Structure 1
Amino acid sequence: ALYCSHALVLVTSLQAALLAPLPPYGLPCDLQGLWRNELGSNMTISALDVAGTFSGSYQTAVAVTNKQILVSPLQGAQQPPGTKGQQPTFGFTVQWQFADSTTVFVGQCFVDRRGKETLEMAWLLREEVPSRKDTWKAIRVGTNVFTRVK
């Protein structure tokens, strides 16, 4: 029984070490590349310039439209890594090419101890409506988690 409890402590300690957040200045998070979310939407982010701005494209897998879904451009910026580590916040706007709407995304890039990068995102979509009285149905809010494809 003593051997079994030591093994349980070892396994529990190993799990805690693997799931613990990175210490400050751990592995850096790099936004550039191809990302996919849990719904199957794909996003490509170009290299960031010295100011932290970037562009790219977004191919949504879900939409409330009968039109053909088209790849849409995105423009954004990343905050410089802060004093707490190298897992910066960022935001971007998508100008949908198939709908009269715009979406803004904000998020943070996280890197686990194994080097897996994850983007935790929140978004706000504003759809064009014919009049102010329809504003109540013009806004959608949600979250997504993106992981690196390459």
Structure 2
Amino acid sequence: MVHTTLFLVVLSLALVAPGFSARKCVLTGQWVNDLGSNMTIGALNGKGEFTGSSHTAVTATTNEIQLSPLQGSQHRINQKSQPTFGFTVNWRFSDSITVFTGQCFVDEDGKEVLKTMWLLRSRVDNIKDDWKATR
């Protein structure tokens, strides 16, 4: 009887465990945001660095949008299941660079989600216009 009860407890935990287990969020892969912008992040190297590409769906310029390189780093000391990261995109179609910082999460449904903040720096002609160069 003890073995049967123990088996049922273990079986019950195994069936419920996926909801409790912390699935690791992995940056590597393709990502699409709610505006239709997309990016691809390559594999992390031993230092936690990565490269990839980004294609934005939103721009303030009239230039044709082009696929642009990105490079970044994931916090590698903290090997938790939902890591922090940062990356820079050097836009090929405009004279601007955007930096992103954020964290990779696994939501209640098991879906990987990136939550980020960003700053975009555009070139201006003189220092007097510096105030309007960062968004």
* TM score, norm. by length of structure 1: 0.74
Gaps spanning 5+ residues in structure 1: where? Answer: 1-21, 141-150
Q: How many residues align?
A: 117
What percentage of aligned pairs have identical amino acids?
Answer: 56
- The answer on whether the counterparts of 1:81 and 1:87 sit within 8 Å (CA) in structure 2 is no
Separation in 1, partners of 2:78, 2:121:
31
Structure 1 residue 38: Cα displacement: 1.1
2:63 paired residue among 64, 67, 83: 67
* Matching of residue 132 in structure 1 with residue 131 in structure 2: no
Give matches, 1:97-116, under 5 Å.
97-116=92-111
For the pair shown, the structure with the greater C-alpha radius of gyration is 2
SS in 2 for 1:135: helix
Residue identity opposite 1:63 in structure 2: T
- The answer on whether the counterparts of 1:43 and 1:59 sit within 8 Å (CA) in structure 2 is yes
Residue identity opposite 1:71 in structure 2: L
The structure whose RCO (Cα within 8 Å, separation 6+) is larger is: 1
- The answer on whether the counterparts of 1:52 and 1:78 sit within 8 Å (CA) in structure 2 is yes
SS in 1 for 2:81: coil
SS in 2 for 1:136: helix
- The alignment yields a C-alpha RMSD, in angstroms, of 1.7
Gaps spanning 5+ residues in structure 2: where? Answer: 1-18
- Deviation above 3 Å: which 4+ runs of structure 1? none
**What's the CA shift string for 1:17-37, capped at 9, x where partnerless?**
xxxxx87x7111100000001
Residue identity opposite 2:100 in structure 1: F
Give matches, 1:67-86, under 5 Å.
67-80=63-76, 82=78, 85-86=80-81
Separation in 2, partners of 1:57, 1:36:
12
Separation in 2, partners of 1:115, 1:75:
27
Residue identity opposite 1:137 in structure 2: K
1:36 paired residue among 24, 29, 32: 32
Separation in 2, partners of 1:66, 1:82:
41
Separation in 2, partners of 1:40, 1:81:
32
